[in-house]
């Protein structure tokens, strides 16, 4: 529409800022809104056929990515007043592609959580039902897109943090292959799992956004050039596509509503010519425990830099250095972050390393092998994104283990570093359910093509009550 001159970037940005103004008091998707700056940037932006691919597109960015001169808190007290002195590589690429940065979105503190209730600055609410959580940790990003407060949003996914909130909020969430998107400037939670990706309204947008997020970065040794390059997903025929339903991911129990939504999608895929069968990931049942050893272990080291010495919070009145560390971190970190740091520290401790970290690494290898075997039989693997739809605020905060279970279908994918997408499969009791599709490493194009086809077959056209009219 902008390219056709039907709407200017300034008008578009104003519309989204207006939506934020009207509804974000209730949704609380944003931690920091760039009201004037975004409007000014949009006013300076003119879009024509030669403009970069995301020119003038109002975008929200999860507050886990550093943007120079803009607050980056990771929803933590510790970084409440922290202002980065550099910009994350993937954000810089988006800036170069012309986005209008609307601001930073809420999240679970340091991306640790599945409901955005672990934000030090209060929870985000699900636009479909404000008594429910938007999922997490990229809950603010998913809610912003679902509430029409941004065209799309950047999220990060360590164990499901893009896909799970996308499922809860009825939007599309894509976690790319590990290494596709630079992690430089992504505040680390668990380095060998973390991956940045887009949350969008549809699959085509996810593909467009991903194209500008990916690329090898000399500042991130684990990044690489995408071997295929990301293409716009053309219309595709699902005939003959081998689709494996991962029965092992359903073993933990899936809500009937989610189940029937999933089954309905499978029927549509089958009738469209896909060859559907059952796929096995025999070690999937160990994925959750392995993840909750490895991710906290990495986190315990990644978060050691928040020591009160150079930036961020420093406790007053401590008598010595050890006291300063302890008090600073007790005041600066929320309960879940402290829990995971302790868990990880314990798992790495001398005498326990082999039993915990060592074992978990072996499980990780087994799960990678499981996926490799499964992809010998299938082009894509599918499952519900989450076992339930969005739960109520406060429902699981008292029981971390139940909370962890909401990522049971997404975590194995992160252990193997694979690309996966969640698209809305329909509504269950009025709440969105998510359909997860998993591809072999670097097969994003295949994944996006199939997801685009599935999206059309599903024909999910509901929007949250916060979006008026249709686009």
Partner 1 sequence: MAYEPVIGLEIHVELSTASKMFCGCRVEFGGTPNTRVCPVCMAHPGALPVINRQAIRYLARIGLALGCSIPERSIFHRKNYFYPDLPKGYQISQYDQPFAVDGRLEVTTQDGIQDVGIERVHMEEDTAKNIHAGESGRIADSLYSLIDFNRSGTPLVEIVTRPDIHSPQAARAFLNQLKNLLQYLDVSDCNMEEGSLRCDANVSMRPAGSEGLGVKTELKNMNSFKHLEKGLAQEIARQVDILESGGDVVQQTVHYDVGSGLISPLRSKEEAHDYRYFPEPDLVPLVATGDFVDEVSSGMPELPAARAERYRRELSLPAYDVEVLTSSRGLADYFEETLEHFNDAKLVSNWLMGELLGYLNATGQSLAECKVSPAGLAELLTMMREGKISANAGKEVFSEMCDSGAAALEVVEERGLSQISDEGELAAVIAEVIEDNPAQVEQFRAGKEQVAGFFVGQVMKATGGRANPKLVNQLVRQRLTE
Contact residues: partner 1, CB under 8 A:
65-66, 72, 74, 79, 82, 84-86, 88, 183-188, 190-192, 218-222, 297-298, 300-301, 303-305, 307, 309-311, 321-322, 325, 345, 348-350, 353, 357
Q: Can you tell me the distance from the alpha carbon of 135 to that of 125, in angstroms, rounded to the nearest whole number? A: 9
Beta strand spans in 321-386 (E): 380-384
Closer CB to partner 1, 1 or 304, in the complex: 304
Per-residue DSSP letters for 150-205? -SEEEEEESSSTTHHHHHHHTSEEEEPPTTSB--TTBPPSSTTT-EEEEEESSHHH
Q: What sign results for the dihedral spanned by CA atoms 327, 329, 333, 335?
A: negative
Task: Give the shortest CB-99-to-partner 1 separation in angstroms.
Answer: 19
Nearer to partner 1, 51 or 222 (CB): 222
What is the closest distance, in whole angstroms, from the C-beta atom of residue 242 to partner 1 in the complex?
Answer: 32
Closest CB 157 distance from partner 1, rounded Å:
16
Residue 362 is a catalytic residue: no
Looking at beta carbons only, is 196 or 453 nearer to partner 1?
196
Cα dihedral: 103, 109, 110, 112 (round 10): -130
Least distance in angstroms from the C-beta of 350 to partner 1 = 5
Q: Smallest distance, Å, CB 294 to partner 1?
A: 9
Nearer to partner 1, 188 or 203 (CB): 188
Minimum Å gap between C-beta 42 and partner 1 is 27
Q: How far is the C-alpha of 100 from the C-alpha of 362, rounded, in Å? A: 44
Closest to partner 1 by CB, 79 vs 411, is 79
The nearer residue to partner 1, 310 or 470, going by C-beta atoms, is 310
Residue whose CB is less far from partner 1, 351 or 376 = 351
Contact 146, 424 (CB under 8 A): no
Closest CA to 288 of 182, 372, 401: 401
Least Å distance, CB 317 to partner 1, is 15
CB of 301: closest distance to partner 1 in angstroms?
Answer: 5
Which helix (H) or strand (E) segment is 438 a member of?
A: strand 431-438
Left if phi > 0, otherwise alpha if psi is -120 to 50, otherwise beta: which for 404?
Answer: alpha
Q: Sort 205 into a burial class: Cβ within 10 Å, 0-12 / 13-18 / 19+.
A: buried
Q: How far is CA 346 from CA 113, 349, 385, in A?
A: 20, 5, 30
d(CA 230, CA 215): 10
Pairing label, strands 195-200, 172-175: antiparallel
Q: Is 18 exposed, middle or buried (0-12, 13-18, 19+ CB in 10 A)?
A: exposed
Residue 189: which of 359, 349, 341 has the closest Cα?
341
Q: How far is CA 469 from CA 35, 426, 461, in A?
A: 24, 19, 12
Catalytic residue among 115, 141, 161, 300: 161
Nearer to partner 1, 125 or 226 (CB): 226
Report d(CA 348, CA 295) in Å as an integer. Answer: 11
Q: Which of 62, 175, 268, 396 is catalytic?
A: 62
137 included as an active-site residue = yes
Q: Annotated catalytic, 161?
A: yes
Mention every residue, 6+ apart, whose C-beta is less than 8 A from residue 98. 45, 47, 51, 52, 53, 54, 55, 56, 57
Q: Which of 114, 137, 141, 261 is catalytic?
A: 137
**Residues assigned a catalytic role:** 62, 137, 161
């Amino acid at each position: 529409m902008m390219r056709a001159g039907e709407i200017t970037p300034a008008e578009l940005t104003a519309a989204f800022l207006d939506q934020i103004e009207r509804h974000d008091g209730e949704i609380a998707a944003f931690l920091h809104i760039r009201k004037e700056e975004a409007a000014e940037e949009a006013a300076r932006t003119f879009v024509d056929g030669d403009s970069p691919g995301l020119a003038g597109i109002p975008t929200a960015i999860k507050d886990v990515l550093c943007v120079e001169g803009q607050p980056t808190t990771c929803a933590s007290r510790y970084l409440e007043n922290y202002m980065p002195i550099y910009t994350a590589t993937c954000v810089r690429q988006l800036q170069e592609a012309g986005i209008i940065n609307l601001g930073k979105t809420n999240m679970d503190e340091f991306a640790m959580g599945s409901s955005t209730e672990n934000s030090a600055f209060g929870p985000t609410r699900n636009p479909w039902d404000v008594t429910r959580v938007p999922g997490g940790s990229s809950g603010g990003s998913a809610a912003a897109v679902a509430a029409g407060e941004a065209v799309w949003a950047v999220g990060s996914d360590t164990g499901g943090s893009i896909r799970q909130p996308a499922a809860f909020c009825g939007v599309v969430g894509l976690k790319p292959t590990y290494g596709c998107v630079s992690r430089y400037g992504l505040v680390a939670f668990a380095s060998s799992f973390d991956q940045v990706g887009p949350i969008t309204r549809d699959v085509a947008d996810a593909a467009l956004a991903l194209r500008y997020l990916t690329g090898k970065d000399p500042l991130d040794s684990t990044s690489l050039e995408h071997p295929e390059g990301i293409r716009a997903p053309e219309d595709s025929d699902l005939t003959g596509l081998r689709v494996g339903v991962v029965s092992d991911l359903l073993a933990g129990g899936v809500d009937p509503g989610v189940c029937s939504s999933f089954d309905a999608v499978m029927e549509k895929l089958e009738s469209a010519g896909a060859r559907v069968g059952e796929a096995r990931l025999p070690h999937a049942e160990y994925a959750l425990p392995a993840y909750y050893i490895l991710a906290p272990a990495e986190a315990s080291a990644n978060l050691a830099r928040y020591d009160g010495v150079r930036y961020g919070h420093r406790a007053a009145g401590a008598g010595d250095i050890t006291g300063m560390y302890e008090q600073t971190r007790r005041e600066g970190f929320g309960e879940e972050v402290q829990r995971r740091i302790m868990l990880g520290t314990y798992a790495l401790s001398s005498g326990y390393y082999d039993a915990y970290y060592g074992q978990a690494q072996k499980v990780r290898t087994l799960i990678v092998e499981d996926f490799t075997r499964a992809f010998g039989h299938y082009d894509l693997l599918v499952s519900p994104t989450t076992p339930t739809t969005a739960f109520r605020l406060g429902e699981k905060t008292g029981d971390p283990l139940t909370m962890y279970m909401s990522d049971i279908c997404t975590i194995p994918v992160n252990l193997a570093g694979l690309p996966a997408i969640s698209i809305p499969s329909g509504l269950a009791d009025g709440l969105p359910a998510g359909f997860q599709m998993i591809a072999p490493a670097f097969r994003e194009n295949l994944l996006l093509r199939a997801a685009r086809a599935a999206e059309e077959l599903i024909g999910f056209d509901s929007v949250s009550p916060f979006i008026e009219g249709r686009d």
